[in-house]
Amino acid sequence: MESQIAKAVISNAMFNKGMYIPPRIVKGRYICFGIDNIGFDRRHQDGKDTMHGTVMAVFQQKQETDTIKA
């Protein structure tokens, strides 16, 4: 399953000139982002017990005329 997801993400990014765009985003309509930077640092010089990550969610309001393709 992980390989299938990775292949789908890479294929989407190649189609969109290097940027992954969720398949149900409608071009020309406003979008909102929620972004959170996560960091956990124990101040070790060797880098152990540290973690860094960023999570982003994209929101777009659905219109009554929108149709969802499977």
Q: Is residue 70 part of a domain?
A: no
Distance, CA of 23 to CA of 58 (rounded, Å): 12
Query: Which DSSP category does 42 fall into?
Result: -
DSSP H or E stretch at residue 15:
helix 2-15
Distance, CA of 18 to CA of 11 (rounded, Å): 9
Token pair for 56: 């982003």
Residue 39 belongs to domain spanning:
2-59
Count of domains for the chain = 1
**Which amino acid is present at 22?**
P
pTM for the full model?
0.53
Q: Is residue 7 part of a domain?
A: yes
Distance, CA of 45 to CA of 48 (rounded, Å): 8
pLDDT in tens, 12-44: 999 999 988 888 888 888 999 899 988 777 666
